[in-house]
Structure 1
Amino acid sequence: MKKFFLYAFVLCFLSSCIPAKKLTYFQGEPATKSELYRLNNEPYRLQVNDILYIDIKAENPEIVSLFKNSATTSTTQGGEGLYFTGYTIDRHGNIRIPYIGDLNVLGYTEKEVRQKIESELTKYVKKVESVFVTVKLAGINFVITGEVGSPGTINLSQNEVSIVDAIANAGDVNTFGDRENIVVVRKTIDGVKKYKVNLLEIEIFESDNFYIKPNDVIYVAPLKQKTWGFGATGFQTFTTLVTVFSFVTTTILLINTL
């Protein structure tokens, strides 16, 4: 009976601790340096609910003032401010520009939108070459939830956001977070897609999903050790098991004395 409890104790202790291998990022060695730093040069194509910052300048400001949203004159606004002052792509894929009206930009790149606006301005401005149009995505907006320090909606004012950036800005993965199976849910023109990302391997830097897209949802699932209720470290697990076995032993002794 004593051996049974000893074996059970050791088995639970070993199986409930979280090994260091489950907590260490970017394990392994990259194949070559060129592959490690390979970037995906495919430009992002705009989706519904993306927000654009659009600015139109000219030598004579009065020429283009009619086409500008007066609230967008400040370039220091963050993603939250641009929700009210930027150009949000509606469910039909359109943005609405003063005097130009609805302009469909769904599936377009930033450069293509800029060219499209410049083309529309030729209808109203004689010397369109004197007009300077700026089109930028108003930051990368994403949702992160699960086993992270600060779950929620985050907007980063960057042209590109990697999965590492996203995790770091959410307070990193908790001890009980499964770094090996992070789920990224992405809504695209072709429908909803689901990807899995493994932060434990160095190959993540070469993955097509290393960079997230605007409006991605990132979920960090818990490790099985959390559902078991044991500690994250060996000492915590030891303390928990001692408490459990003490309770079991006391219960058995009480039953035998009856």
Structure 2
Amino acid sequence: MEILSKLLIGILIAILLSSCSSRNVVYFQDIDKVGRENLKAYHNYEPKIKKDDMINIIVSALNKDVVAPYNSDPSVYSVDIEGNITFPILGRLKVEGLTLRELSNWLTAMISKDVKKPVVNTSFVNYKVTILGEVRTPGTYVMPSERTTILQALGLAGDLTLGGKRDNVLLIREINGTYEHIKIDLRKSDILSSPHFYLCQNDVIYVAPTSSRSFSGSSQSSIIPLIASTIGIVISTIALILN
């Protein structure tokens, strides 16, 4: 009877540990308690051009020969330290602080003085985010679009490991030459309506490890002993009860 009691206590402890660990890895735990009106995303978010950005600009029109002087080869422009690009015909242009849409509209207005109904397409070339720490595949990733969320970026890195702290994800962002750091709790749904939900180019995401590292994210092998021991305890208990 004493052995059975110890086994049952062991099972209870294992269940409690598993329950605590599960709560620590689940995202958006309060989402059912938050009203839809409180989760309005920043649908109008548009990243702004910064120094050292690489921007692809292509000008087109029905008459390709007319717009040829406005297109360089290659069509990628680097934003210099003063926030300018050097554009064919138009010269040096201050583009820092503009969104891509604003840049397209501005260029279209200027080129329209010489070209009938020009179309200006712009896109970021170096829209990259670095993801470090307790993720399955850390590294620097080229984002699929200018409207990439922190969740999509973490997905590219294979998600957080079991050893990553969901309540303390650090976002490092450069703004006007200075770096700001924001701590994000992925267990809470307010991130969905946060201005930091969408990433900016050159953002850095760092996922800190849990203090105990009981479930080390560097390898899933760390969880295997726990599962095996729990199963063993359950089987032994059932066998004793049946006998």
Q: What is the TM-score of this pair, normalised by structure 1?
A: 0.71
Of 51, 60, 63 in structure 2, the residue corresponding to residue 60 of structure 1 is 63
**CA deviation after TM superposition for structure 1 residue 21, in Å:** 0.9
The amino acid that maps onto 1:157 is P
Gap change, CA 1:204 and 1:30, over 3 Å in 2: farther
Gap change, CA 1:36 and 1:236, over 3 Å in 2: same
> Higher mean Cα deviation, 134-143 or 181-190?
134-143
Of 192, 211, 216 in structure 2, the residue corresponding to residue 224 of structure 1 is 211
**CA deviation after TM superposition for structure 1 residue 70, in Å:** 3.1
Q: Which residue is equivalent to 1:248?
A: none
**CA deviation after TM superposition for structure 1 residue 115, in Å:** 3.0
The amino acid that maps onto 1:100 is L
Q: Which runs of 5+ in 2 are unaligned?
A: 1-5, 230-243
Cα displacement string for residues 125-151 of structure 1 (whole angstroms, at most 9, x for unaligned residues): 2xx342111223337311111111111
The 3-state SS of whatever aligns with 1:71 is coil
Of 81, 97, 104 in structure 1, the residue corresponding to residue 94 of structure 2 is 104
Output the CA distance in 1 between the equivalents of 2:215 and 2:108: 60
Q: Which residue is equivalent to 1:200?
A: 187
Cα contact 2:171–2:206 (8 A) shared by 1: yes
The 3-state SS of whatever aligns with 2:198 is coil
Cα contact 1:176–1:232 (8 A) shared by 2: no
Cα contact 1:26–1:199 (8 A) shared by 2: yes
Of 181, 187, 198 in structure 1, the residue corresponding to residue 168 of structure 2 is 181
Output the CA distance in 1 between the equivalents of 2:199 and 2:206: 13
RMSD: 3.0
Identity %: 26
Output the CA distance in 2 between the equivalents of 1:90 and 1:30: 47
Output the CA distance in 1 between the equivalents of 2:224 and 2:130: 33
Output the CA distance in 1 between the equivalents of 2:224 and 2:136: 22
Q: What is the TM-score of this pair, normalised by structure 2?
A: 0.75
**CA deviation after TM superposition for structure 1 residue 197, in Å:** 0.9
**CA deviation after TM superposition for structure 1 residue 42, in Å:** 4.3
**CA deviation after TM superposition for structure 1 residue 182, in Å:** 0.3
Gap change, CA 1:236 and 1:201, over 3 Å in 2: same
The 3-state SS of whatever aligns with 2:151 is helix
**CA deviation after TM superposition for structure 1 residue 176, in Å:** 0.6
**CA deviation after TM superposition for structure 1 residue 103, in Å:** 1.6
Cα contact 1:139–1:157 (8 A) shared by 2: no
**CA deviation after TM superposition for structure 1 residue 237, in Å:** 9.7
The amino acid that maps onto 2:209 is P
The 3-state SS of whatever aligns with 1:200 is coil
Gap change, CA 1:227 and 1:31, over 3 Å in 2: closer
The 3-state SS of whatever aligns with 2:65 is helix
